[in-house]
Amino acid sequence: MLKKCLTLLTALMLFLGTTAAFGQAIQDPVLATFEGQDILKSDVDAVIPMLEGYMTDATDYRYATEFVVQQRIIGQKIKDLGFDTFTAEEESAFKGDAQSQMDDGIESYISYYLSEDSAEAREQLEKQAVEFYAQQGMTLETLEENFRQSAAINKLSSYLVGDYEPGQEEIEATFNQFGASYQQNYENNILAYEYNTNYYQQPSWYTPEGYRGIVHILLQPESTLMEEYSRLSSAYEEQQSETDNELTQSEDAAVSEVQASADVAEPVTAQMVEDAKQAVLDAKKAEIDSIYEKLEQGESFESLIAQFGQDPGMQDENNLAAGYKVHKDSVIWDPAFTAGAFSDKMQKVGDVSDPVVGSNGIHILMYKSDVPSGLIMTDAIHMEIVEYLNAVKENSAMVTAIGDWTKDFAIHYNDDNILAATQSAQAMGPDDDADEIEDLQAVPMDENEPTDPQETEAPNDPNTAG
């Protein structure tokens, strides 16, 4: 909760800078006064959409009004302490940053809507973009003011925090605290770990035991051979599955039904699948023999990847150095690839598999390494924790300071108008769409289970997954 307060205190100052100047309108009651200045319902309404994840519900006008008052306190203290005064160099930087942000926004707008790349089309879309952003309250002037206010708040935070730096004990305690959540989620759940970290790109501080780093040489025979092998393999697997599910029927009836559903003239046998696989291997026999011969002569597996391999992922230096992370229970890789990575010939680091036929071709795999397991603090995680602890410290200092500063200002809350605004909002119905903001960005999702793999097309082969 502390970091949440800080996030709002620092980010919403920018927003409030554009809302506090509105004049009183019809049916715009005064909810509070700060140093004799009215805080209108419209001022509070302007921040409620950004506060909903922090309030009890979206109708909590007391919370929202108190928040606006806090922003006025911060703004006044920034002025009192002279943190809103900047050098010519700083002012120039604000202008440059605002222009850069506006240019990026316009280019993004143009790229999104551009259907015909011509100078005339770009010029027209640029005008539309400027108008669109202006309607949203985003102009060069407002962007420049946002950078100015952000810098002022940073000065105030530095003033309050002083020379604080997180200690090693704090860092390790935080790592262990949040790391426990990762371990609880993933220690015995490879499916959740792989989908969340690979498919959904969620970070994890914990790696389950049993992962190997696997590099491979991918050979791709003619597509007709692969298509025939894939067709027969799929049909055979479907037959086996449907036969297992028809235990109350005779074997002949089950085969007949499978034939009809698979739309084949005759049942697919294991031998037919094996023959199709052998045809795939025979098509690349010369390359396969050459690879194993070169390995016997002492050539490195990595050099043979460069010479023969057809997996773009193996051109990535990180993938080549560490290998693909494969577990015996992996769900993101082609099952044939996973089986090859844990075959009888893959007993120790440095071992090379027999050729494995998968959905994208022939794999020759090498057991590159054992992937370290458990909670591992990387440099990136260390930096993230330091930033988090700095934010917690800033938040704590800001909350304490606001409490001390409050008594120095004339603040009055109009309880009747706040109650009336709350009751009116409750009568209209709350908006439950607000999302809670995590205290630490990298904390894993609450759910232990990922999205149903059957509902999502996830990468399933080293040719497509890194």
Least confident span in 263-267, 287-291, 354-358, 406-410: 263-267
Reported as half-sphere exposure (CB side, CA atoms, 13 A), residue 383 has a value of 3
- 35 and 145 together in one domain: yes
Q: What is the mean pLDDT of the chain?
A: 85
Range 165-190 average pLDDT: 96
CA gap 460, 450 in Å, rounded: 16
CA gap 18, 50 in Å, rounded: 15
- 159 and 227 together in one domain: no
- 92 and 231 together in one domain: no
Q: Is residue 132 domain-resident?
A: yes
- 149 and 267 together in one domain: no
Please work out, in degrees rounded to the nearest 5, the angle formed at the alpha carbon of residue 450 by the alpha carbons of 449 and 455.
125
Q: Is residue 44 domain-resident?
A: yes
Residue whose pair of structure tokens reads 């009336």 in the numeric block: 420
- What domain count does the chain have? 2
CB–CB of 438/388 below 8 Å?
Answer: no
- 252 and 156 together in one domain: no
- The per-residue pLDDT for 50 is 87
pTM of model > 0.85: no
Q: Is residue 445 domain-resident?
A: no
- 141 and 23 together in one domain: yes
Its domain, for residue 258, covers 223-283
Q: Is residue 91 domain-resident?
A: yes
Q: Is residue 322 domain-resident?
A: no
Q: State how far the alpha carbon of 354 is from the alpha carbons of 295, 344, 382, in Å.
A: 13, 10, 41
Q: Is residue 183 domain-resident?
A: no
pLDDT tens across 442-454, in order? 333 444 444 333 3
**371 residue type, one letter:** V
- The per-residue pLDDT for 452 is 37
The alpha helices in 358-410, defined as continuous H runs, are 379-406
Nearest residue to 178 (alpha-carbon basis) of 451, 450, 449, 438: 438
CATH number for position 29? 1.10.4030
Provide the 10 A C-beta neighbour count for residue 112.
Answer: 9
Least confident span in 11-15, 31-35, 172-176, 274-278: 11-15
- 102 and 234 together in one domain: no
Q: Is residue 294 domain-resident?
A: no
- The per-residue pLDDT for 53 is 79
Reported as half-sphere exposure (CB side, CA atoms, 13 A), residue 22 has a value of 20
The total number of residues written for the chain in this structure? 466
- 160 and 229 together in one domain: no
Q: Is residue 307 domain-resident?
A: no
Q: Which of 261, 283, 305 is the last residue of a domain?
A: 283
- 129 and 241 together in one domain: no
- 42 and 126 together in one domain: yes
Going by pLDDT thresholds of 50, 70 and 90, the confidence category of residue 245 is low
- 2 and 149 together in one domain: yes
- 35 and 154 together in one domain: yes
Bridge partners of 214, per DSSP, are 324, 367
Q: Which of 235, 253, 283 is the last residue of a domain?
A: 283
CA gap 124, 103 in Å, rounded: 15
Q: Which residues in 220-257 are b (16+ Cβ under 10 Å) and which e? A: bbeeebbebbbebbebbeebeeebeeeeeeeeeebbee
Higher pLDDT, 61 or 254: 61
Q: Which of 283, 309, 332 is the last residue of a domain?
A: 283
